[in-house]
Structure 1
Amino acid sequence: MSILVAGPEPITSRDDLVNYLASGEKPKSDWRIGTEHEKFSFRLKDHTAVPYGGPDGIRAMLEGLQRFGWKPVMEGETLIGLVCEEGSGANISLEPGGQFELSGAPMEVLHQTCGEVHDHLAQVKEVGDELGIGFLGLGFTPDWSRADIPQMPKGRYGIMTRYMQKTGKMGLDMMYRSCTVQVNLDFSSEADMVKKLRVSLALQPIVTAIFANSPFTEGKPNGFLSMRSEVWKDTDRDRTGMLPFVFEDGFGYERYVDYALDVPMYFVYRDGAYHDVAGLSFRDFLDGKLKGFEGEVPTIGDWSNHLTTIFPEARIKKYMEMRGADAGPWSRICALPAIWVGVLYDGGVLDAAWDMVKDWSAEERQRLRDEVPKLGLKTPFRGGTVQDLARQMLDLAQEGLKRRGAGDGTGADERIFLSSIEEIVEKGKTPAEELLDLYHGRWNGTVAPIYDEFAF
């Protein structure tokens, strides 16, 4: 999750909330690519979860990475993350169960994005090897129970842990046992945002299927191909889902603001501390009536932080974030931004993608989202399967990246980053099904080899 901000500007009206979203508009020449990816940390000696403290824990890992120019982010006396010394916007943050997340700097082309990922993983491996810590890209922990996983000492996670137990059965699994890869992309206008968000929401289940990579829970097959995606269905329905209102006539910034205002708050962040207001209303905050903060009005920083606590399949802040892919190996980290950049960053391809999905009903979109975690690319759709939709989406992405013409200096353009998912789409066999084949075959009914064969 993002490192929080504390913007001091007071909000004077609802228009300020709308204008905050609109301020993200950029001309196409300034569009960038920001990739976020999470990974599980584990002890190399016994494959157990890594605690925060101790000479070889998560804090030591963060301290060790500072040799590469990262600067510490503190919460009181607690080291909770790192930011890039050069001010690029990149940061490293901790997820609730010690998952390491790189939120990459905004990059112009995918070659830069993947270079950043490569450098980060090399740094993490160097320090991790010294401390006996490994890292695994997977959508869900293969064998840890909730009780096996330590909680990271960030104030917001204590608040979320308490609140999640009131809103669904799987919220704690989402927090402590899942990992994802996401991409942040720009929009040029309200109309551009609307089209991109609609296409992203409609196609998100197809991406979930392509990247499905979490078939195990506590050492056994769990009956799903993307357990990470499944847990979101019963996490907190006030702040998750497919946002059917986005497809209604008249949708724009104002409608999204109204939606976000009605999502219950988690916290108010003041002077480096989190104040628990879980379940209370940002509308009351806006009116100076928030319990415990009566007479105080929120700041733009409060609004920005609140938007980070909303978790639909795709969301907008001052940019757009596509959220529904399981974590995986190095090659598929780069494939996730590649498929979305290809589909969304060329106007003609975006129009073709909208033509592909615009007559899908809300019921069809929801059915895809509900069935894909279990059936993956074999999910039925209109006489075909999600594999057919994945082929169409991949073709669109190939065309979009070809039109961008962003080469690496050796003759290869950005399409090379789709190579790791081309075979998945063509064969119709998800990474999760490949893992299940290993489990039932060479691994002889154990998931233990995954830590050796699939670690970074």
Structure 2
Amino acid sequence: MARDTTDFRPIEGMDELVAYLAQGNKPREKWRIGTEHEKFPFYIDGNAPVPYGGERGIRAILEGMQRTLGWEPILDENRIIGLVEPTGQGAISLEPGGQFELSGAPLETIHQTCREGNAHLAQLREIAEPLGIRFLGLGGSPKWRLSETPRMPKSRYEIMTAYMPKVGTMGLDMMYRTCTIQVNLDFSSETDMRRKMQVSLKLQPLATALFANSPFTDGKPNGLQSWRGEIWTDTDNQRSGMLPFCFSPEFGFADYVEWALDVPMYFVIRNGRYHDMTHMTFRQFMNGAARNEVTDGMPTIGDWANHLSTLFPDVRLKHFLEMRGADGGPWRRICALPAFWVGLLYDEEALNDAEALTADWTYEEVVAMRNAVPAEGIATAFRNTTLRDVGRDVLAISRKGLKNRNRLNRDGFDETNFLSTLDEVVARGTTSAQEMVNAYHTRWGDSIEPVFLEYAY
């Protein structure tokens, strides 16, 4: 989750909100790749969850990482809840249940992204192993009940925890028991943003299927391939899911702003304190509804930035586009997710091909796919075929885009090899989740415990 910001410039009107999004426009040569991944910490002894405090808790990991990296601490009421690289090139943060997140630096190639991820995991092992802690690369917490899951001391999470049960049945599971891999990608103009938003929204269910990796809950199979994907179908549907207006040929920044204005807020920050604002929308806030509730009760640019970070559509628009459909997974997936999307969206020929492939896909069809994928995975039906066949075509387009980019590593290899783990899913016809469930019923002897060996970083 993003680090909350403070920018005290007052908002005068709607035009500034649109202009804020348009500030994301960047020329192609400045496009970058920002990869985020989350993982579950656990004690090696007993595969138990790791609390925040104590000599062998998450706070101790953060303090050890701070000493190792020299990064600056992120504090919430004087408690360390994350780290940020001093020049803003990356951050480490905590999700509500202690999920450990690396928000990577904006990088130019997938090779750099993979090196960054490997370096982070090596640094983390150096600090965590002596504490008896490892990390699990799955999309959903496989063993611990919600009541057993630790809670991190972060003010925004207290507000969200109280609010989530009011707006959906699975919001607390989303907060405390899921992990994702995400990539943030740039656009050059409103038109370029529209093209990328539309292609990536339509293909997000495919990404969920290819990366499906959360088949266990409370220590046993849950009947799903992406429990995480299922959770997002009833977390808070006012602020998440597919956005029908994005499918319009005229979609632009102003349309996203209009939608965001009518989504209830979570909080505002004043004098370092978080104020619960879940009872009003940002539009009501703009119209003065908080004048008597908080000091200086009119919105600022910082309030708008924070509000945008609390919206959870399958593709989120800020100063960049965030691809949000994938489960967390093994380390190869941390490189595969950005490779998949960069291949599709950062090469003009590939983007043209992806647009042509999805041009007549309707909002209703995509929503139906999205709803079926958590259970069906790549076997999900689409028209007269399945997502397995669609995936084969889309991976070919992504591979073409990566070849056209021709970003070579020191050994002369391009970025296409990072797609190999996804090629295997399509070739096998089974997802990582299905492979895990097969293992559970055979060589794991109906025990969840081996997952902590085979899927640990």
Q: Which residue of 1 aligns with 2:308?
A: 307
SS of match in other structure, 1:323: strand
Q: Quick one: distance in 2 between partners of 1:75 and 1:363?
A: 42
Q: Which residue of 1 aligns with 2:289?
A: 289
Q: 2:270 touches 2:295 (CA, 8 Å); kept in 1?
A: no
User: Alpha-carbon deviation of 1:5?
Assistant: 0.8
Q: Which residue of 2 aligns with 1:230?
A: 230
Q: Quick one: distance in 2 between partners of 1:366 and 1:155?
A: 33
Q: Which residue of 2 aligns with 1:189?
A: 189
SS of match in other structure, 2:48: coil
User: Alpha-carbon deviation of 1:277?
Assistant: 1.0
2:102 equivalent to 1:102: yes
Q: 2:270 touches 2:294 (CA, 8 Å); kept in 1?
A: no
Q: Which residue of 1 aligns with 2:121?
A: 121
Letter in 1 for 2:214: S
Letter in 1 for 2:57: G
User: Alpha-carbon deviation of 1:293?
Assistant: 3.5
Letter in 1 for 2:112: Q
Q: Which residue of 1 aligns with 2:399?
A: 398
User: Alpha-carbon deviation of 1:295?
Assistant: 6.3
User: Alpha-carbon deviation of 1:385?
Assistant: 0.3
Q: Quick one: distance in 2 between partners of 1:317 and 1:222?
A: 34
Letter in 1 for 2:221: P
SS of match in other structure, 2:357: helix
Q: Quick one: distance in 2 between partners of 1:432 and 1:323?
A: 18
Deviations 1:238-268 (A, max 9, x none): 0011101101242100000000111110001
Q: 1:75 touches 1:273 (CA, 8 Å); kept in 2?
A: no
Letter in 2 for 1:292: E
Q: Quick one: distance in 2 between partners of 1:294 and 1:260?
A: 23
With the length of structure 2 as denominator, give the TM-score of the two structures.
Answer: 0.98
SS of match in other structure, 2:139: coil
User: Alpha-carbon deviation of 1:294?
Assistant: 8.0
Q: Which residue of 2 aligns with 1:52?
A: 52
In the alignment, structure 2 segments of 5+ residues that lack a partner are none
User: Alpha-carbon deviation of 1:288?
Assistant: 2.2
2:317 equivalent to 1:316: yes
Q: Which residue of 2 aligns with 1:31?
A: 31
SS of match in other structure, 2:152: coil
Deviations 1:399-448 (A, max 9, x none): 00000000002110111111121111122210000001100100010110
Q: Which residue of 1 aligns with 2:261?
A: 261
User: Alpha-carbon deviation of 1:273?
Assistant: 1.6
Q: Quick one: distance in 2 between partners of 1:161 and 1:224?
A: 25
Q: 2:34 touches 2:103 (CA, 8 Å); kept in 1?
A: yes
Q: Which residue of 2 aligns with 1:177?
A: 177
Letter in 1 for 2:287: D
Q: 1:288 touches 1:295 (CA, 8 Å); kept in 2?
A: no
SS of match in other structure, 2:325: coil
- Give runs of aligned pairs for residues 46-445 of structure 1, distance below 5 A: 46-66=46-66, 67-85=68-86, 87-290=87-290, 292-293=293-294, 296-445=297-446
Letter in 2 for 1:154: K
Q: Quick one: distance in 2 between partners of 1:279 and 1:104?
A: 33
Letter in 2 for 1:376: G
Q: 1:265 touches 1:280 (CA, 8 Å); kept in 2?
A: yes
Letter in 2 for 1:147: S
User: Alpha-carbon deviation of 1:89?
Assistant: 2.4
With the length of structure 1 as denominator, give the TM-score of the two structures.
Answer: 0.98
User: Alpha-carbon deviation of 1:134?
Assistant: 0.8
Q: Quick one: distance in 2 between partners of 1:385 and 1:49?
A: 38
User: Alpha-carbon deviation of 1:88?
Assistant: 4.1
SS of match in other structure, 1:140: coil
User: Alpha-carbon deviation of 1:271?
Assistant: 2.1
Letter in 2 for 1:315: R
Q: 1:139 touches 1:179 (CA, 8 Å); kept in 2?
A: yes
Q: Structure 1 stretches (4+) deviating beyond 6 angstroms?
A: none
SS of match in other structure, 2:316: strand
Q: 1:171 touches 1:231 (CA, 8 Å); kept in 2?
A: yes
Q: Percent identity?
A: 54
Q: 1:208 touches 1:372 (CA, 8 Å); kept in 2?
A: yes
Letter in 1 for 2:413: A
Q: 2:275 touches 2:294 (CA, 8 Å); kept in 1?
A: no
SS of match in other structure, 1:422: helix
Deviations 1:299-331 (A, max 9, x none): 111100000100010010000000010111111
Letter in 2 for 1:350: L
Q: Quick one: distance in 1 between partners of 2:355 and 2:238?
A: 27
Q: Quick one: distance in 1 between partners of 2:365 and 2:72?
A: 47
Q: Which residue of 2 aligns with 1:450?
A: 451
Q: 1:139 touches 1:326 (CA, 8 Å); kept in 2?
A: yes
Q: 1:80 touches 1:93 (CA, 8 Å); kept in 2?
A: yes
In the alignment, structure 1 segments of 5+ residues that lack a partner are none
Letter in 2 for 1:338: A
User: Alpha-carbon deviation of 1:132?
Assistant: 0.9
Q: Quick one: distance in 2 between partners of 1:45 and 1:427?
A: 34
Q: 2:33 touches 2:183 (CA, 8 Å); kept in 1?
A: yes
Q: Quick one: distance in 1 between partners of 2:177 and 2:270?
A: 29
Letter in 1 for 2:146: R
Q: Quick one: distance in 2 between partners of 1:171 and 1:439?
A: 27
Aligned residue-pair number: 455
Q: 1:107 touches 1:113 (CA, 8 Å); kept in 2?
A: yes
Letter in 1 for 2:135: F
Q: 1:288 touches 1:294 (CA, 8 Å); kept in 2?
A: no
Q: Quick one: distance in 2 between partners of 1:386 and 1:57?
A: 42
Q: Quick one: distance in 1 between partners of 2:197 and 2:188?
A: 13
User: Alpha-carbon deviation of 1:46?
Assistant: 1.1
